[in-house]
Structure 1
Amino acid sequence: MFDLGKRLRRNALIGALVLGPFGLLVLFGSITNNVDGPAAARVFSGIFGAALLGVAVLIALLWPVISRTQQLVLEHTGIRWHDPRGRPFTIRWQELAEIVVHRKWTPSRFGRSSAQVRVELYPAGHDFRKRHPDLEHLLREGEGRPHYRLTLGPNKTAATIVDEGLQRFQPRLRQGIREENQPPSAR
């Protein structure tokens, strides 16, 4: 199982817990005249504190969206997208001809490389589209043979996790990880 929102939830929660109190302290300090220097320094610290507090409040307001469950589950019967507030689906292994995991590397920032990961599902039969109208939003027809693309986002470890799950549950469908723009440090 790969949980798409785990890292986002953790980072947002840490950000809100750090920025909120810090912003409140800076804002309170500027209001109570506890900032040394000219009036411009007080004004700047007040704006800065309000901005930090605003980010924390924004995270709190968007928490239902941030904490949304989105999981890709590989199990003995097939592949399942668990998304209670979105478009969940289930596909049995017998309905697929192959599965390709793509990892497209992006230029490194601050010494850390990242990658966009997507999973491409190739149907085994021509009636797959009729049986799965719920996957229409994932269909890609103009790129060679028709397939369904599920984007997992910027998490370079997602490709390895999904590939290991495929190797465990359905090695016949597994085509490995196809790397694009791989940096020398990740090889």
Structure 2
Amino acid sequence: MRRLILLLLTVLTTSCHSQSNSKPQPIKKAQNMELATFAGGCFWCTEAVFLDLKGVKAVQSGYTGGKRPNPTYEQVSSGATGHAEAIQIEFDPSEISYEELLEVFFATHDPTTLNRQGADVGTQYRSEVFYHSDAQKEAAENYIAQMTAALTFKDPIVTKVSAAQPWYPAEDYHQNYYKRNTSQSYCHYVITPKVEKVRKVFKDKLKS
């Protein structure tokens, strides 16, 4: 299976690189809204699992946590820039809390594998929470401590908790990738199970 996924990734990447490299503008947070920024592997996957949640107004794929300004997908994929593939969520805290977003985040990726999610390997696929306030920092650290105490995972959690850093939106073709390419093999085998898990386990949090 791993070899199959790696082959699919190669095919998809080749296809993606033939498309436009234009980038959207960063999310402009509306009044009374908050931002959450998570890195948990391929941003096609992490973006998809949050789009159906009530209170989530927008989800954008992008790059953060690195050294090079305005990196491209090719540069980030090389691992040389230090950026993570990540998502930034604009959400209404009166409809869904930051703690609930953390719950979904940790339920839909493996926070115990260092710089890796499945067949995706490299520092760009690391597990990291980028907090936008002291309250978010405390919530993330407390949630990780609770999971550790409860032995939620058999291996230690390696997710980093870091202050939010400059955000660079990914190229247009990465945005809303799953919903535009659901029938592709990588989406079917890797992303669809995550989306279905959210719809089953967190059905009380879904949009009407």
Does TM, normalized by the shorter one, top 0.5? no
Tell me which of the two structures has the higher relative contact order, counting C-alpha pairs closer than 8 angstroms and 6 or more residues apart.
2
Answer 1 or 2: which has greater strand percent: 1
TM-score by length of 2: 0.25
